[in-house]
Amino acid sequence: MSQLKALLFDVDGTLAETEHDGHRVAFNRTFAEHGLSWHWNESRYRELLETSGSSERIAAYVRSDHPHWLNQTDATARIKQMHLDKNRHYAGLVVAGNIHLRPGVMALLRQAIAQNLRVAIVTTTHRSNVDALLAVTLDAELRNAFQVFVTGEDVARKKPDPECYQLALHALKLAPDETLAIEDSPNGLNAAHGAGIRSVIVPSVYFRDCDFTAADIVVREFTDVSFSALCQLP
């Protein structure tokens, strides 16, 4: 196995509990703003998280729960607008201080940088959501340490498709076994493994009951694993 050269960080659920503390709340604010009676409670949102990407998630929900709503001619445009509005509400929640890094994320980043590991962001959320979160939770030095950002706009197919990880490997000019993905979800695990990349899973709240036996290591929080243990994964 080659020497580890880069850590590839997912964002939603991994750096922070963004789905729980941010996106779900923002979706519900958006639905109310659009005059819709739709409301995603925790258990419904858990099911809907199987679809990555907000426009795709809203469309999947409407197909299942309100199929007639799709008959209107501007249904696609309305979903697109809801996605933009959801991201505006999400950014508001971030700026208001509702979303915090998960314990141990900052320490792991600092150790990686001190050991000359490269760090990248590999997410299927939009770049604006990543920028909003990093601006509030990291100082400029740590933000600038990320050499590569692959976000939802960069891919044709979102997680669990491996495309985002393949793009990151290409941008970093690294082989899969020189990198380690850090993820929180089954879709993230499958995306990383589809690209041949090993994975550390730190399940986020919605995915604590999932089967992650295919992962290389699973820990409850970042504080439960040492940096040297991550570097020495077989």
**Residue 56: count of CB within 10 angstroms of its CB:** 16
What is the closest distance, in whole angstroms, from the C-beta atom of residue 228 to ligand XBP in the complex? 26
Locate all alpha helices (DSSP H) within 34-185, ordered by sequence.
42-48, 54-65, 75-95, 105-114, 127-137, 140-145, 163-172
Angle in degrees, CA 182, 137, 217, rounded to 5 = 15
What's the length of the chain?
Answer: 234
28 versus 54: smaller Cβ distance to ligand XBP: 54
Reply yes or no on whether 12 is catalytic: yes
121 beta partners: 9, 149
What is the closest distance, in whole angstroms, from the C-beta atom of residue 55 to Mg ion in the complex? 17
33 versus 50: smaller Cβ distance to Mg ion: 50
What is the closest distance, in whole angstroms, from the C-beta atom of residue 214 to ligand XBP in the complex? 16
Check: CB of residue 199 under 8 Å from CB of residue 189: yes
Write out the residues near ligand XBP by the rule CB under 6 A: 10-13, 19, 23, 52-54, 83, 86-87, 123-126, 129, 152, 159, 185, 187-188
Give the per-residue contact string, 12-31, with Mg ion (x = CB under 5 A; - = no): xx------------------
Q: What are phi and psi of 200, to 5 degrees?
A: -105, 130
Residue 4 is given by DSSP the state P
Give the per-residue contact string, 181-220, with Mg ion (x = CB under 5 A; - = no): ---xx--x--------------------------------
Partner whose footprint covers residue 102, from ligand XBP, Mg ion, none (CB < 5 to 8 Å by kind):
none
- C-alpha distances in angstroms, 39 versus 50, 65, 96, 224? 17, 11, 22, 35
Contacts with Mg ion: how many residues (CB under 5 A)? Answer: 6
23 versus 102: smaller Cβ distance to ligand XBP: 23
Window of 3-11, 37-45, 59-67, 132-140 that interacts with Mg ion by CB under 5 A: 3-11
- Rounded distance, CA 16 to CA 22, Å? 10
